[in-house]
Amino acid sequence: MKKTSTRLADGRELIYYDLRDDSVRAAVDRRPLDRTVTTSEVRRDPLLGDSVAIASHRQGRTYHPPADECPLCPSQGDRLSEIPDSSYDVVVFENRFPSLAGDSGRCEVVCFTSDHNASFADLDDEQARLVLDAWTDRTAELSHLPSVEQVFCFENRGAEIGVTLGHPHGQIYAYPFATPRTALMLRQVAQHKEATGGGNLFDAVLERELAGERVVLASEHWVAFVPYAAHWPYEVHLYPRRRVPDLLGLDEAARSEFPQVYLELLRRFDRIFAEPDGGESAVQESPTPYIAAWHQAPFGALEEFDGVVRDDFALHLELFTIRRTPGKLKFLAGSESGMSVFINDVPPERAAERLREVASS
């Protein structure tokens, strides 16, 4: 992998990640851009103890542009985009409309491929490994920023999820705090550690799932399963068999095997609703919308979680869709949005069975 860092016309950082070591990235951003001005502010909710990012400048962000005006495609002639070069393998750059900025953290965009009409599932193993390497590199770099406590790499895919740019891409949020979801996990880890005299909750969960009926894929270094208490209609958790706190902890064997396992999962997700299921006629009108979310240990202090250290956390990816059946979405209504109590219409055992049925080949 070759890494080349440069600057866009408004001063934002842009980084090319190339498969070839002889790639030259000398293109200059020719757009007449003013310096980016953000109004991002993090406010803490005194009742819930969580934080909310207030970012009014995001109201003016690019919204569903036509394909020939996509800002994530390479620049071509007089059509100038966020990427100055005429081609790329993987690109990461600071978001022009960030939810977090300055002392409030940082937001980056990750373009998986220059092919506007592709998706992550269309990548080959080499390209998918390059994305993994880019995620890992950004996690390392962002962890050194004084305002950053946790790095979150994720992909939103599909208009149903709320994606406003159709180009295959993901994002990285570098938070100035440990997120509420992570804090909940760490509290459970602390309780389990105390109750078992030092046992690890993530290890116990993985052991339980390996012995059960919800495993979707199991390889030498990775395990994918539908969790016992899945929140979403189709939800898969992907764990490395060897517990590590973050992407930096993966060894070469796990990194090498990741593309095959992850691409297989994504391709199966695109087939969930493509065939009749449960007696319903299933004509898939669009690719399966999903969110893919990497959970990594915070880099900040863990004093509030009694007896927990970073190595107690287990890196894992959660992949889920809000589609519950062909043509129907799972909405977060009263119970979910008002009380954070999820109601899942698809039994996790059936979801796992379905994902085993729809092999991508």
- 169 is an active site residue: yes
CA angle 64, 70, 76 (to 5 degrees): 165
Catalytic one of 64, 167, 169, 221: 169
- At which residue do the structure tokens 């994002």 appear? 171
Rounded Cα–Cα distance for residues 237 and 206 (Å): 10
Closest CA to 179 of 46, 320, 299: 299
222-230 contacts: CB < 8 A, separation 24 or more?
222/254, 222/257, 222/258, 222/261, 224/261, 224/265, 225/352, 226/348, 226/349, 226/351, 226/352, 226/355, 227/348, 228/348, 229/348, 230/320, 230/344, 230/346, 230/348, 230/351
What's the token pair of residue 167? 């180009």
Rounded Cα–Cα distance for residues 148 and 146 (Å): 6
What sign does the CA torsion over 303, 238, 100, 332 have? negative
Q: Which residues pair with 50 in a beta bridge?
A: none
Beta-carbon-side half-sphere exposure of residue 74 (alpha carbons within 13 Å): 16
| Cβ contact 68:42 at 8 Å | no
Residues catalogued as catalytic: 169
